[in-house]
Structure 1
Amino acid sequence: MSAFLSCARPGRWLLAVAAVGALAGCGGGPASNISLIPGNQIEAQSRRDGLFTQPVKWEHTKPGCHGQCPSIKLDSLAFPSVQRLTQLVDHALATMTGVNPQRIPPYSTIAGYEEYFWKTAAPRDSTQLLAKARYRSKYLTVIELDTYQYFTGAAHGVSATQFLNWDNNRQTVLSLDQVLLPGQRQAYVAALRAAHKRWLAGNPDARRDPASYDRLWPFQPSDNFAFTDDGLVVKYDSYQIAPYSAGQPELRIPYAELAGILKPEYLPTASH
Protein backbone atom coordinates (compact mmCIF):
# COMPACT_ATOMS: atom_id res chain seq x y z
CA MET A 1 0.00 0.00 0.00
CA SER A 2 1.25 3.48 -0.80
CA ALA A 3 2.59 5.40 2.17
CA PHE A 4 0.39 8.28 1.05
CA LEU A 5 -2.72 6.18 1.61
CA SER A 6 -1.94 4.48 4.90
CA CYS A 7 -4.49 6.58 6.77
CA ALA A 8 -7.22 6.52 4.12
CA ARG A 9 -10.82 7.02 5.17
CA PRO A 10 -13.95 5.97 3.27
CA GLY A 11 -14.91 8.30 0.42
CA ARG A 12 -12.99 8.66 -2.79
CA TRP A 13 -12.08 12.33 -2.39
CA LEU A 14 -11.28 11.87 1.31
CA LEU A 15 -8.39 9.61 0.32
CA ALA A 16 -6.67 12.79 -0.78
CA VAL A 17 -6.98 14.19 2.74
CA ALA A 18 -5.39 11.07 4.18
CA ALA A 19 -2.34 11.73 2.02
CA VAL A 20 -1.61 14.96 3.82
CA GLY A 21 -0.20 13.39 6.98
CA ALA A 22 2.37 11.28 5.16
CA LEU A 23 3.39 13.85 2.58
CA ALA A 24 3.19 17.19 4.37
CA GLY A 25 3.55 16.25 8.03
CA CYS A 26 1.31 17.04 10.98
CA GLY A 27 1.41 19.65 13.69
CA GLY A 28 -0.48 22.12 15.79
CA GLY A 29 -1.21 25.77 15.19
CA PRO A 30 1.25 28.47 14.13
CA ALA A 31 4.07 29.35 16.46
CA SER A 32 3.02 33.00 16.84
CA ASN A 33 -0.30 34.70 17.36
CA ILE A 34 -0.09 37.12 14.43
CA SER A 35 -3.04 37.26 12.09
CA LEU A 36 -2.60 34.96 9.10
CA ILE A 37 -5.59 36.54 7.32
CA PRO A 38 -4.63 40.08 6.30
CA GLY A 39 -7.28 42.57 7.33
CA ASN A 40 -8.67 45.22 4.98
CA GLN A 41 -7.16 43.58 1.90
CA ILE A 42 -8.82 42.86 -1.38
CA GLU A 43 -8.09 39.59 -3.14
CA ALA A 44 -5.58 41.06 -5.58
CA GLN A 45 -3.48 42.42 -2.71
CA SER A 46 -3.52 39.09 -0.89
CA ARG A 47 -2.57 37.11 -3.98
CA ARG A 48 0.43 39.37 -4.61
CA ASP A 49 2.26 37.89 -1.61
CA GLY A 50 1.33 34.26 -2.25
CA LEU A 51 3.42 31.34 -3.45
CA PHE A 52 4.58 31.48 -7.04
CA THR A 53 2.63 29.10 -9.28
CA GLN A 54 3.06 27.71 -12.76
CA PRO A 55 0.27 26.18 -14.87
CA VAL A 56 0.43 22.51 -15.83
CA LYS A 57 -1.92 21.84 -18.77
CA TRP A 58 -2.33 19.02 -21.26
CA GLU A 59 -5.01 16.90 -22.92
CA HIS A 60 -4.30 13.30 -23.91
CA THR A 61 -6.27 10.63 -25.73
CA LYS A 62 -5.55 6.92 -25.55
CA PRO A 63 -2.38 6.15 -27.54
CA GLY A 64 -3.07 4.29 -30.76
CA CYS A 65 -6.83 4.85 -30.54
CA HIS A 66 -8.82 6.08 -33.56
CA GLY A 67 -12.39 7.36 -33.70
CA GLN A 68 -14.16 7.66 -30.34
CA CYS A 69 -11.37 7.48 -27.75
CA PRO A 70 -11.10 7.91 -23.97
CA SER A 71 -9.42 11.12 -22.88
CA ILE A 72 -7.83 12.87 -19.92
CA LYS A 73 -7.57 16.65 -19.50
CA LEU A 74 -5.31 18.20 -16.87
CA ASP A 75 -5.43 21.87 -15.83
CA SER A 76 -3.36 22.03 -12.66
CA LEU A 77 -0.65 23.93 -10.81
CA ALA A 78 2.98 23.44 -9.91
CA PHE A 79 4.77 25.26 -7.08
CA PRO A 80 8.42 25.54 -8.12
CA SER A 81 9.57 26.65 -4.66
CA VAL A 82 7.58 24.00 -2.76
CA GLN A 83 8.12 20.56 -4.25
CA ARG A 84 6.06 18.83 -1.57
CA LEU A 85 3.01 20.90 -2.38
CA THR A 86 3.37 20.13 -6.10
CA GLN A 87 3.55 16.42 -5.24
CA LEU A 88 0.56 16.66 -2.92
CA VAL A 89 -1.63 18.31 -5.56
CA ASP A 90 -0.64 15.66 -8.11
CA HIS A 91 -1.30 12.83 -5.66
CA ALA A 92 -4.59 14.24 -4.38
CA LEU A 93 -6.03 14.71 -7.87
CA ALA A 94 -5.06 11.16 -8.81
CA THR A 95 -6.61 9.76 -5.64
CA MET A 96 -9.87 11.65 -6.18
CA THR A 97 -10.57 9.56 -9.30
CA GLY A 98 -11.33 6.43 -7.27
CA VAL A 99 -15.08 5.78 -7.61
CA ASN A 100 -15.30 2.92 -5.09
CA PRO A 101 -15.11 4.35 -1.54
CA GLN A 102 -14.11 0.95 -0.16
CA ARG A 103 -11.19 0.42 -2.53
CA ILE A 104 -7.88 2.22 -2.55
CA PRO A 105 -6.88 3.06 -6.15
CA PRO A 106 -3.92 1.08 -7.55
CA TYR A 107 -2.03 4.31 -8.35
CA SER A 108 -0.79 7.31 -6.40
CA THR A 109 0.10 9.87 -9.09
CA ILE A 110 -1.53 11.33 -12.19
CA ALA A 111 0.98 9.46 -14.34
CA GLY A 112 -0.05 6.23 -12.62
CA TYR A 113 -3.72 7.04 -13.09
CA GLU A 114 -3.20 7.73 -16.79
CA GLU A 115 -1.52 4.35 -17.29
CA TYR A 116 -4.37 2.63 -15.41
CA PHE A 117 -7.03 4.60 -17.29
CA TRP A 118 -5.83 3.56 -20.74
CA LYS A 119 -6.05 -0.08 -19.68
CA THR A 120 -9.58 0.12 -18.27
CA ALA A 121 -11.45 2.98 -20.00
CA ALA A 122 -14.37 2.47 -22.38
CA PRO A 123 -14.40 4.43 -25.69
CA ARG A 124 -16.31 7.46 -24.42
CA ASP A 125 -14.83 7.62 -20.91
CA SER A 126 -13.23 10.94 -20.01
CA THR A 127 -11.57 12.51 -16.98
CA GLN A 128 -10.88 16.13 -16.12
CA LEU A 129 -8.42 16.99 -13.35
CA LEU A 130 -8.40 20.61 -12.22
CA ALA A 131 -6.46 22.55 -9.57
CA LYS A 132 -6.60 26.29 -9.00
CA ALA A 133 -5.42 28.70 -6.33
CA ARG A 134 -8.58 29.82 -4.56
CA TYR A 135 -6.80 32.16 -2.13
CA ARG A 136 -3.18 33.21 -1.66
CA SER A 137 -1.49 35.38 0.92
CA LYS A 138 1.91 35.65 2.57
CA TYR A 139 0.90 32.98 5.06
CA LEU A 140 -1.64 30.73 3.37
CA THR A 141 -2.19 29.11 -0.01
CA VAL A 142 -5.63 27.61 -0.60
CA ILE A 143 -5.99 25.23 -3.52
CA GLU A 144 -9.27 23.95 -4.91
CA LEU A 145 -9.07 20.48 -6.45
CA ASP A 146 -11.84 19.28 -8.78
CA THR A 147 -12.29 16.09 -10.72
CA TYR A 148 -14.97 15.26 -13.27
CA GLN A 149 -15.37 11.79 -14.76
CA TYR A 150 -17.77 10.61 -17.43
CA PHE A 151 -18.29 6.88 -17.89
CA THR A 152 -19.63 5.53 -21.18
CA GLY A 153 -23.41 5.10 -21.02
CA ALA A 154 -23.95 7.20 -17.89
CA ALA A 155 -26.62 9.89 -17.78
CA HIS A 156 -24.07 12.44 -16.57
CA GLY A 157 -20.60 12.70 -15.12
CA VAL A 158 -19.37 12.30 -11.56
CA SER A 159 -17.68 15.26 -9.88
CA ALA A 160 -15.69 15.70 -6.67
CA THR A 161 -14.08 18.68 -4.96
CA GLN A 162 -11.57 19.16 -2.18
CA PHE A 163 -9.78 22.15 -0.64
CA LEU A 164 -6.19 22.14 0.57
CA ASN A 165 -5.31 24.93 3.03
CA TRP A 166 -1.51 25.12 2.97
CA ASP A 167 0.47 26.89 5.70
CA ASN A 168 3.33 28.52 3.75
CA ASN A 169 5.69 28.81 6.73
CA ARG A 170 5.16 25.41 8.31
CA GLN A 171 4.71 23.68 4.93
CA THR A 172 1.77 21.57 5.99
CA VAL A 173 -1.92 21.29 5.17
CA LEU A 174 -4.22 22.58 7.88
CA SER A 175 -7.10 20.39 9.02
CA LEU A 176 -10.30 21.88 10.40
CA ASP A 177 -9.42 20.82 13.95
CA GLN A 178 -6.09 22.63 13.66
CA VAL A 179 -7.74 25.99 12.96
CA LEU A 180 -10.64 25.71 15.44
CA LEU A 181 -10.33 26.65 19.08
CA PRO A 182 -10.53 23.64 21.42
CA GLY A 183 -14.09 22.44 21.92
CA GLN A 184 -15.56 24.65 19.19
CA ARG A 185 -16.43 22.08 16.51
CA GLN A 186 -20.13 22.17 17.37
CA ALA A 187 -20.08 25.96 17.25
CA TYR A 188 -18.52 25.70 13.78
CA VAL A 189 -21.29 23.31 12.71
CA ALA A 190 -23.89 25.76 14.02
CA ALA A 191 -22.31 28.60 12.01
CA LEU A 192 -22.27 26.36 8.95
CA ARG A 193 -25.92 25.48 9.50
CA ALA A 194 -26.76 29.19 9.60
CA ALA A 195 -24.89 29.65 6.29
CA HIS A 196 -26.90 26.75 4.88
CA LYS A 197 -30.14 28.47 5.86
CA ARG A 198 -29.04 31.61 4.03
CA TRP A 199 -28.19 29.50 0.99
CA LEU A 200 -31.64 27.88 1.08
CA ALA A 201 -33.27 31.31 1.22
CA GLY A 202 -31.69 32.10 -2.15
CA ASN A 203 -32.48 28.70 -3.68
CA PRO A 204 -35.70 28.82 -5.79
CA ASP A 205 -36.25 25.05 -5.56
CA ALA A 206 -35.97 25.11 -1.78
CA ARG A 207 -38.30 28.11 -1.48
CA ARG A 208 -41.02 26.39 -3.54
CA ASP A 209 -41.36 23.48 -1.12
CA PRO A 210 -39.08 23.90 1.93
CA ALA A 211 -40.34 20.81 3.76
CA SER A 212 -39.81 18.45 0.83
CA TYR A 213 -36.43 19.94 -0.01
CA ASP A 214 -35.24 19.58 3.56
CA ARG A 215 -36.43 15.98 3.66
CA LEU A 216 -34.69 15.07 0.40
CA TRP A 217 -31.58 17.21 0.88
CA PRO A 218 -30.97 17.74 4.58
CA PHE A 219 -28.07 19.77 5.94
CA GLN A 220 -24.79 17.95 6.38
CA PRO A 221 -21.71 19.22 8.20
CA SER A 222 -18.47 19.22 6.23
CA ASP A 223 -14.75 19.70 6.86
CA ASN A 224 -14.12 20.77 3.25
CA PHE A 225 -13.32 24.40 4.08
CA ALA A 226 -11.27 27.12 2.43
CA PHE A 227 -9.95 30.42 3.74
CA THR A 228 -10.84 33.49 1.68
CA ASP A 229 -10.51 37.22 2.26
CA ASP A 230 -13.92 37.58 3.87
CA GLY A 231 -14.71 34.23 5.47
CA LEU A 232 -14.62 30.45 5.25
CA VAL A 233 -16.10 28.79 2.19
CA VAL A 234 -17.38 25.22 2.57
CA LYS A 235 -18.01 23.35 -0.67
CA TYR A 236 -20.09 20.21 -1.27
CA ASP A 237 -20.13 17.60 -3.99
CA SER A 238 -23.21 17.00 -6.11
CA TYR A 239 -25.96 15.10 -4.29
CA GLN A 240 -24.64 15.92 -0.80
CA ILE A 241 -27.04 18.74 0.07
CA ALA A 242 -28.73 19.39 -3.27
CA PRO A 243 -29.71 17.60 -6.50
CA TYR A 244 -27.27 17.24 -9.39
CA SER A 245 -28.80 20.25 -11.14
CA ALA A 246 -27.56 22.50 -8.32
CA GLY A 247 -23.94 21.71 -9.10
CA GLN A 248 -21.49 21.84 -6.19
CA PRO A 249 -22.98 24.19 -3.59
CA GLU A 250 -20.79 26.60 -1.65
CA LEU A 251 -21.67 27.96 1.78
CA ARG A 252 -19.90 31.05 3.10
CA ILE A 253 -19.36 31.81 6.79
CA PRO A 254 -18.20 35.42 7.38
CA TYR A 255 -15.26 35.81 9.74
CA ALA A 256 -17.47 37.97 11.97
CA GLU A 257 -19.51 34.84 12.76
CA LEU A 258 -16.38 32.82 13.56
CA ALA A 259 -15.01 34.93 16.40
CA GLY A 260 -14.51 32.63 19.37
CA ILE A 261 -14.63 29.62 17.03
CA LEU A 262 -11.55 30.02 14.85
CA LYS A 263 -8.18 30.48 16.50
CA PRO A 264 -7.38 34.22 16.62
CA GLU A 265 -4.51 33.92 14.12
CA TYR A 266 -7.03 32.83 11.46
CA LEU A 267 -9.24 35.89 11.92
CA PRO A 268 -8.44 39.11 10.06
CA THR A 269 -7.36 42.14 12.04
CA ALA A 270 -7.31 45.78 10.98
CA SER A 271 -3.61 46.03 11.79
CA HIS A 272 -2.49 43.38 9.24
Structure 2
Amino acid sequence: MRFKIFVYAIIISLVSQTCKEEKPIEFKEVTKTTNSNNLVELNIPEAIGNESVSKAINHSISQLVISSLNVNDTNGIEPKTVEESIDLFNNEYAFFKTNFPDSVVPWEAQIDGDVMYQSADVISISMTSYLNTGGAHGNLIISFLNFNSQTGKLLKNEDLFEDYLAFTELAKTYFNEEIADKKDLYFEPDNFKLPENIGFDEEGIILLYNTYEVAPYSSGITEIHIPWEDLQTSLNFL
Protein backbone atom coordinates (compact mmCIF):
# COMPACT_ATOMS: atom_id res chain seq x y z
CA MET A 1 0.00 0.00 0.00
CA ARG A 2 2.82 2.36 0.91
CA PHE A 3 4.47 1.60 -2.42
CA LYS A 4 1.29 2.56 -4.32
CA ILE A 5 1.03 5.82 -2.37
CA PHE A 6 4.68 6.52 -3.18
CA VAL A 7 4.07 5.92 -6.91
CA TYR A 8 0.96 8.11 -6.90
CA ALA A 9 2.93 10.87 -5.19
CA ILE A 10 5.59 10.75 -7.89
CA ILE A 11 2.97 10.84 -10.68
CA ILE A 12 1.18 13.81 -9.10
CA SER A 13 4.51 15.60 -8.67
CA LEU A 14 5.46 15.02 -12.31
CA VAL A 15 2.06 16.14 -13.58
CA SER A 16 2.21 19.23 -11.39
CA GLN A 17 5.71 20.06 -12.61
CA THR A 18 4.70 19.52 -16.26
CA CYS A 19 1.71 21.83 -15.91
CA LYS A 20 3.95 24.43 -14.32
CA GLU A 21 6.49 24.17 -17.13
CA GLU A 22 3.80 24.37 -19.81
CA LYS A 23 2.19 27.53 -18.43
CA PRO A 24 1.23 29.52 -21.53
CA ILE A 25 3.01 32.71 -22.37
CA GLU A 26 1.04 35.90 -21.88
CA PHE A 27 1.99 39.50 -22.55
CA LYS A 28 1.53 42.79 -20.77
CA GLU A 29 2.52 46.25 -21.97
CA VAL A 30 5.25 47.93 -19.97
CA THR A 31 6.54 51.49 -20.06
CA LYS A 32 10.21 51.97 -19.31
CA THR A 33 12.01 55.18 -18.46
CA THR A 34 14.63 56.60 -16.08
CA ASN A 35 14.82 59.56 -13.71
CA SER A 36 16.92 61.57 -16.18
CA ASN A 37 14.93 60.71 -19.31
CA ASN A 38 13.35 63.54 -21.28
CA LEU A 39 13.56 62.22 -24.83
CA VAL A 40 12.55 58.56 -25.00
CA GLU A 41 9.03 57.13 -24.90
CA LEU A 42 8.98 53.38 -24.67
CA ASN A 43 5.96 51.04 -24.60
CA ILE A 44 6.81 47.42 -25.27
CA PRO A 45 5.30 43.96 -24.65
CA GLU A 46 6.72 41.90 -21.82
CA ALA A 47 6.29 38.15 -21.79
CA ILE A 48 5.15 36.46 -18.58
CA GLY A 49 4.50 32.80 -17.82
CA ASN A 50 7.04 30.06 -18.40
CA GLU A 51 10.20 31.55 -16.90
CA SER A 52 12.76 30.29 -19.41
CA VAL A 53 10.58 31.06 -22.45
CA SER A 54 9.55 34.52 -21.28
CA LYS A 55 13.14 35.35 -20.33
CA ALA A 56 14.35 34.46 -23.84
CA ILE A 57 11.60 36.50 -25.52
CA ASN A 58 12.12 39.54 -23.29
CA HIS A 59 15.87 39.40 -23.86
CA SER A 60 15.40 39.58 -27.64
CA ILE A 61 12.96 42.48 -27.32
CA SER A 62 15.35 44.34 -25.03
CA GLN A 63 18.26 43.79 -27.41
CA LEU A 64 16.25 45.29 -30.26
CA VAL A 65 15.37 48.34 -28.15
CA ILE A 66 19.00 48.80 -27.10
CA SER A 67 20.15 48.54 -30.71
CA SER A 68 17.49 51.02 -31.87
CA LEU A 69 18.60 53.65 -29.34
CA ASN A 70 22.27 53.18 -30.10
CA VAL A 71 23.16 56.30 -32.12
CA ASN A 72 26.57 57.54 -33.27
CA ASP A 73 28.06 54.21 -32.12
CA THR A 74 27.88 55.77 -28.62
CA ASN A 75 31.67 56.15 -28.51
CA GLY A 76 32.22 52.47 -27.93
CA ILE A 77 29.88 52.30 -24.94
CA GLU A 78 27.67 49.20 -24.99
CA PRO A 79 24.61 49.49 -22.74
CA LYS A 80 23.51 46.21 -21.19
CA THR A 81 19.98 47.19 -20.19
CA VAL A 82 17.13 49.16 -21.73
CA GLU A 83 17.45 51.73 -18.95
CA GLU A 84 21.14 52.23 -19.71
CA SER A 85 20.35 52.72 -23.40
CA ILE A 86 17.70 55.34 -22.52
CA ASP A 87 20.16 57.31 -20.41
CA LEU A 88 22.83 56.98 -23.08
CA PHE A 89 20.48 58.41 -25.73
CA ASN A 90 19.80 61.39 -23.47
CA ASN A 91 23.51 61.84 -22.81
CA GLU A 92 24.28 61.76 -26.52
CA TYR A 93 21.79 64.57 -27.09
CA ALA A 94 23.38 66.64 -24.30
CA PHE A 95 26.78 66.09 -25.90
CA PHE A 96 25.34 67.08 -29.29
CA LYS A 97 23.87 70.31 -27.88
CA THR A 98 27.20 71.21 -26.32
CA ASN A 99 28.88 70.96 -29.71
CA PHE A 100 25.99 72.40 -31.75
CA PRO A 101 24.22 74.88 -29.46
CA ASP A 102 22.43 76.57 -32.37
CA SER A 103 20.56 73.41 -33.34
CA VAL A 104 16.84 73.97 -32.79
CA VAL A 105 15.62 70.44 -33.55
CA PRO A 106 15.26 68.41 -30.34
CA TRP A 107 16.03 64.72 -30.41
CA GLU A 108 13.26 62.25 -29.72
CA ALA A 109 12.72 58.51 -29.71
CA GLN A 110 9.53 56.50 -29.52
CA ILE A 111 9.44 52.73 -29.56
CA ASP A 112 6.19 50.73 -29.42
CA GLY A 113 5.61 47.00 -29.62
CA ASP A 114 2.58 44.85 -30.36
CA VAL A 115 1.89 41.13 -30.36
CA MET A 116 0.57 40.53 -33.87
CA TYR A 117 -0.01 36.79 -33.63
CA GLN A 118 0.30 34.00 -31.10
CA SER A 119 -0.25 30.28 -31.48
CA ALA A 120 1.07 27.11 -29.85
CA ASP A 121 3.95 27.18 -32.32
CA VAL A 122 4.90 30.76 -33.07
CA ILE A 123 4.66 34.24 -31.57
CA SER A 124 5.02 37.23 -33.88
CA ILE A 125 5.77 40.69 -32.47
CA SER A 126 5.97 44.02 -34.29
CA MET A 127 8.37 46.69 -32.96
CA THR A 128 8.00 50.23 -34.34
CA SER A 129 10.76 52.73 -33.63
CA TYR A 130 10.81 56.40 -34.57
CA LEU A 131 14.00 58.36 -33.95
CA ASN A 132 14.80 61.95 -34.77
CA THR A 133 18.36 63.00 -34.06
CA GLY A 134 18.27 66.41 -35.65
CA GLY A 135 18.12 65.50 -39.34
CA ALA A 136 15.76 66.72 -42.04
CA HIS A 137 13.25 64.10 -40.94
CA GLY A 138 12.96 61.31 -38.43
CA ASN A 139 13.63 57.67 -39.15
CA LEU A 140 10.77 55.17 -38.84
CA ILE A 141 11.68 51.49 -38.74
CA ILE A 142 9.36 48.53 -38.19
CA SER A 143 10.88 45.23 -37.12
CA PHE A 144 9.18 41.84 -36.85
CA LEU A 145 10.34 39.33 -34.26
CA ASN A 146 9.17 35.72 -34.56
CA PHE A 147 9.62 33.31 -31.66
CA ASN A 148 9.21 29.60 -31.12
CA SER A 149 6.34 29.53 -28.61
CA GLN A 150 7.74 26.46 -26.84
CA THR A 151 11.30 27.69 -26.31
CA GLY A 152 11.29 31.47 -26.81
CA LYS A 153 14.00 31.06 -29.43
CA LEU A 154 14.15 33.90 -31.95
CA LEU A 155 13.44 32.42 -35.38
CA LYS A 156 15.16 33.33 -38.61
CA ASN A 157 13.00 33.82 -41.68
CA GLU A 158 14.33 30.57 -43.10
CA ASP A 159 13.07 28.71 -40.02
CA LEU A 160 9.47 29.65 -40.79
CA PHE A 161 9.12 27.72 -44.04
CA GLU A 162 9.28 24.12 -45.09
CA ASP A 163 10.33 25.16 -48.59
CA TYR A 164 11.94 28.59 -48.49
CA LEU A 165 12.48 28.74 -52.25
CA ALA A 166 8.85 27.86 -52.95
CA PHE A 167 7.69 30.57 -50.57
CA THR A 168 10.03 33.05 -52.25
CA GLU A 169 8.35 32.36 -55.59
CA LEU A 170 4.91 32.77 -54.03
CA ALA A 171 5.94 36.04 -52.40
CA LYS A 172 7.37 37.29 -55.69
CA THR A 173 3.96 36.88 -57.31
CA TYR A 174 2.27 38.94 -54.62
CA PHE A 175 5.02 41.56 -54.75
CA ASN A 176 4.70 41.99 -58.50
CA GLU A 177 0.93 42.37 -58.18
CA GLU A 178 1.36 45.00 -55.47
CA ILE A 179 3.74 47.22 -57.45
CA ALA A 180 2.37 46.55 -60.96
CA ASP A 181 1.15 50.11 -61.52
CA LYS A 182 4.07 51.84 -59.80
CA LYS A 183 7.17 49.89 -60.79
CA ASP A 184 8.98 53.06 -61.74
CA LEU A 185 9.02 54.07 -58.07
CA TYR A 186 11.11 51.05 -57.04
CA PHE A 187 14.87 50.64 -57.18
CA GLU A 188 15.08 47.25 -58.93
CA PRO A 189 11.49 46.03 -59.39
CA ASP A 190 12.50 43.03 -61.52
CA ASN A 191 15.14 41.86 -59.06
CA PHE A 192 12.88 40.47 -56.33
CA LYS A 193 14.13 39.68 -52.86
CA LEU A 194 12.29 38.88 -49.66
CA PRO A 195 12.22 41.63 -47.04
CA GLU A 196 14.12 41.49 -43.78
CA ASN A 197 10.79 41.56 -41.97
CA ILE A 198 8.34 38.69 -42.35
CA GLY A 199 5.62 38.36 -39.72
CA PHE A 200 2.27 36.74 -38.96
CA ASP A 201 -1.14 38.17 -38.17
CA GLU A 202 -4.61 36.64 -37.92
CA GLU A 203 -5.07 36.77 -41.70
CA GLY A 204 -1.76 35.35 -42.87
CA ILE A 205 1.76 36.55 -43.52
CA ILE A 206 2.97 40.13 -43.78
CA LEU A 207 5.97 41.06 -45.91
CA LEU A 208 7.22 44.49 -44.85
CA TYR A 209 9.84 46.55 -46.64
CA ASN A 210 11.01 49.54 -44.63
CA THR A 211 11.80 52.90 -46.19
CA TYR A 212 14.84 52.75 -48.49
CA GLU A 213 14.80 48.94 -48.55
CA VAL A 214 13.31 48.67 -52.04
CA ALA A 215 12.14 52.22 -52.76
CA PRO A 216 13.06 55.84 -51.91
CA TYR A 217 11.88 57.67 -48.80
CA SER A 218 9.01 59.31 -50.66
CA SER A 219 7.48 55.88 -51.37
CA GLY A 220 7.29 55.03 -47.69
CA ILE A 221 6.81 51.50 -46.40
CA THR A 222 5.74 48.66 -48.71
CA GLU A 223 3.50 46.09 -47.01
CA ILE A 224 2.22 42.93 -48.65
CA HIS A 225 -0.25 40.40 -47.22
CA ILE A 226 -0.41 36.72 -48.18
CA PRO A 227 -3.53 34.87 -46.86
CA TRP A 228 -3.37 31.61 -44.92
CA GLU A 229 -5.02 29.56 -47.65
CA ASP A 230 -2.02 30.14 -49.90
CA LEU A 231 0.50 29.24 -47.20
CA GLN A 232 -0.40 25.96 -45.55
CA THR A 233 2.00 23.84 -47.63
CA SER A 234 4.83 26.32 -47.20
CA LEU A 235 4.97 26.73 -43.43
CA ASN A 236 6.89 24.87 -40.78
CA PHE A 237 4.39 26.13 -38.21
CA LEU A 238 0.64 26.50 -37.68
TM-score by length of 1: 0.63
Alignment CA distance shift 1:235-1:100 (3 Å): farther
Question: What residue identity is the alignment partner of 2:127?
Answer: L
Instruction: Please point out which of 152, 155, 161 is paired with 1:174.
Output: 155
Matches within 5 A, 1:228-267: 228-263=201-236, 266-267=237-238
Matches within 5 A, 1:49-68: 51-58=25-32, 62=36
Question: Contact between 1:147 and 1:159, CA under 8 Å: does it hold in 2?
Answer: yes
Q: State the structure with more CA Rg.
A: 2
Question: Contact between 1:51 and 1:136, CA under 8 Å: does it hold in 2?
Answer: no
5+ residue gaps in structure 2? Answer: 1-22, 98-105
Q: Higher relative contact order at CA 8 Å, sep ≥6: structure 1 or structure 2?
A: 1
Alignment CA distance shift 1:94-1:215 (3 Å): closer
Instruction: Please point out which of 178, 181, 205 is paired with 1:199.
Output: 178
Aligned residues: 200
| Structure with the higher fraction of residues in helix conformation | 2
Matches within 5 A, 1:1-272: 51-58=25-32, 62=36, 71-81=39-49, 82-98=54-70, 106-121=78-93, 122=96, 124-152=106-134, 154-181=135-162, 184-201=163-180, 206=182, 210=183, 212-215=184-187, 219-263=192-236, 266-267=237-238
Q: CA deviation at 1:58?
A: 5.0
1:99 & 1:198 partners in 2: Cα distance?
Answer: 37
1:111 & 1:60 partners in 2: Cα distance?
Answer: 6
Alignment CA distance shift 1:59-1:248 (3 Å): farther
1:88 & 1:60 partners in 2: Cα distance?
Answer: 21
Secondary structure of the structure 1 residue equivalent to 2:69: coil
Question: What residue identity is the alignment partner of 1:85?
Answer: I
TM-score by length of 2: 0.71
Alignment CA distance shift 1:240-1:215 (3 Å): closer
1:119-151 CA-partner distances (Å, limit 9, x unpaired): 211451111111111112343321111211101
Secondary structure of the structure 1 residue equivalent to 2:179: helix
Q: CA deviation at 1:215?
A: 4.4
1:56 & 1:225 partners in 2: Cα distance?
Answer: 24
2:217 & 2:127 partners in 1: Cα distance?
Answer: 19
5+ residue gaps in structure 1? Answer: 1-48, 64-69, 268-272
Secondary structure of the structure 2 residue equivalent to 1:172: coil
Question: What residue identity is the alignment partner of 1:186?
Answer: L
2:126 & 2:146 partners in 1: Cα distance?
Answer: 9
Question: What residue identity is the alignment partner of 1:146?
Answer: T
Secondary structure of the structure 1 residue equivalent to 2:229: helix
Q: CA deviation at 1:159?
A: 2.0
1:184-203 CA-partner distances (Å, limit 9, x unpaired): 333222222212122214x6
Question: Contact between 1:50 and 1:140, CA under 8 Å: does it hold in 2?
Answer: no
Alignment CA distance shift 1:171-1:62 (3 Å): closer
1:214 & 1:221 partners in 2: Cα distance?
Answer: 14
Q: CA deviation at 1:219?
A: 4.1
Question: What residue identity is the alignment partner of 2:125?
Answer: I
Secondary structure of the structure 2 residue equivalent to 1:78: strand
The percentage of counterpart residues that share the same residue type is 19
Measured on the aligned residues, the alpha-carbon RMSD in Å equals 3.0
